[in-house]
Every structure is written in structure tokens, then in C-alpha cells.
Amino acid sequence: MLILKPLYKGYIKVAPNIIVTLLTLLLFSCGATTQMSDNNSGSNNFATLTWDSPTINADGTSLNDLAGYKIYYWINGKSPTVIDVGCTPCSSSCPGTAQPQTCSYTIRNLTSGTYYFAVTAYDADGNESDYSNTGYKMIP
């Protein structure tokens, strides 16, 4: 039996097992909080992009030499970062004659901020399409 002295007015008798329980709960909650915040930053510092592959050239002719994709992403007011992701996100329709397909690519380890994204396609001669529509994600 431990006897704890509060700041004022007498004493409170507390069983040691209660102290242990309280300490355990305190440690657990600290650990859990830490774990949760790690999970939060770990799960939210990426952006997964999906898009539909083009099947034609700008002039409406069949696109038969699709060679890959570039992803542009930027924070407002900053120059874009460009990643040439090749055909990786759309392996069943690239390279070669493009087929309708939904493509997907994840960019990881983004630091805090609001990021904007656009995707372009390019052919075997290096001709690059216009931007897709722009998407965005806020990284906490």
C-alpha cells in the first residue's frame, strides 16, 4: 500500500497495482499517439495518380508509337518537378499501339504542402502531348 500526499488536505491510499495500471495506460497512450502520428505521416506523404491512356494522336490518327508518360508536379508558384515514368504505369498498352487503359502511379516521400499534378504522354520520336487535366493533393 502506497500513501500519496496530495497538494492539500490529507492523504489518499492507492494500491500499487493501480499505479502500475495507470503508468501502463500512460505509456501505452503515449506510444499509441506516437504510432498514430507516424502512421499519419507515413500514409499521407504520397500521391497516387490514375489516368486514362490516349489512343490517338492530336490529329486524330491512331497512336501506334506510344513510348511513355511524364508526370509533372509542383507547389503553387514553384517550377514543376518532372518524372519520366516510361510505360511502367500502363504496361498493357505501352509501348506501341495504345489501347484504352487506366494507368496508375504513386509518388512517395512528398513533403508538406499542396501539390498539383498533370500527366503527359510521349511517342517514340519524343513528341509530347499537352497536359492532362490538373489534379491536386494536400500533404499534411
Partner 1 sequence: MKKYRKNNFIVSIFKVFLIILSFSIFSIRAHAWTITADFELGTIGQEAQGPSGFTDALSQTFYSSENSHSGSKSAKVIFPKDSDCWPVCGGTIVYHTPLFHDDEIWVREYVYFPPDFDFTSHPVFKILRTARILTIDNSPRGILSILSDDQGRIVLSNEITPYQPTTNVYFSRGKWQSIELYVKLSNISPVMRIWKDGILVIEDRDHKTMLEITDIVDKEFGTYIFTYWNGGVPKTQYAFIDDVEVTTDKPLNVDCKGNPMIGPLNWDRAKACGSPAPPQNLTVK
Q: Which residues sit at the interface with partner 1, rule CB under 8 A?
A: 47-60, 63, 66, 69, 74, 76, 80, 98, 103, 114, 116-123, 125, 127-137
Instruction: Give me the count of residues in the chain.
Output: 140
Give whichever of 17 and 76 is closer to partner 1, judged by the CB atom: 76
Of residues 17 and 109, the one with the C-beta less far from partner 1: 109
Residue whose cell numbers read 506501341: 96
Nearer to partner 1, 29 or 106 (CB): 106
Cis peptide upstream of residue 95 (ω within 30 degrees of 0): yes
Min CB(7)–partner 1 separation in Å:
52
Give the CA radius of gyration of the chain. 27
Cβ–Cβ < 8 Å for 70, 51? no
